[in-house]
């Protein structure tokens, strides 16, 4: 549910293009190699650490937000930065992460 709410909010922002792709569930690394998005939101049931490593290698410049299934934790993986864990992220926090440029989320 959190993913849907976040997707709807991000779709309203004119500076962003939200890509909803069925391939993300079956082969997210291939989609990342093709689309090269600035950011990707993945739920923890959708992505384990091995798959996460594949995603980072497929599109090293993509900021990946890894949400827990209950939405209480988000881990942000960003190029050239240590992972950032955010406890109890609000929708505004997540929108800010997805719209940030550079390594602002790691500061």
Annotated domain spans of the chain = 2-101
Quickly state the pLDDT bin for 78 (edges 50, 70, 90).
confident
Number of H helices, E strands in the chain: 5, 4
**pTM above 0.85?**
no
For the chain, what is the mean pLDDT?
Answer: 77
Quickly state the pLDDT bin for 88 (edges 50, 70, 90).
very high
Tokens 């079956």 correspond to what residue?
Answer: 26
Per-residue pLDDT tens digits for 31-43: 888 888 888 887 7
Residue 46 above 60 pLDDT? no
Nearest-5° Cα angle at 22, 45 to 49: 30
**With 0-12 CB in 10 A as exposed, 13-18 as middle and 19+ as buried, what is 1?**
exposed
**End-to-end CA separation in angstroms for the chain:** 28
Residue 76 above 70 pLDDT? yes
């Amino acid at each position: 549910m959190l993913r849907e709410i976040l997707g709807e909010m991000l779709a309203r922002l004119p500076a962003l293009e939200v890509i909803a792709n069925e391939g993300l569930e079956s082969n997210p690394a291939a989609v990342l190699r093709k689309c090269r998005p600035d950011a990707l939101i993945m739920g923890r049931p959708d992505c384990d650490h091995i798959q996460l490593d594949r995603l980072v290698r497929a599109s090293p410049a993509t900021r990946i937000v890894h949400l827990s299934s209950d939405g209480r934790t988000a881990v942000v993986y960003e190029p050239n930065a240590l992972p950032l864990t955010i406890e109890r992220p609000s929708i505004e926090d997540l929108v800010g992460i997805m719209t940030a440029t550079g390594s602002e989320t790691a500061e």
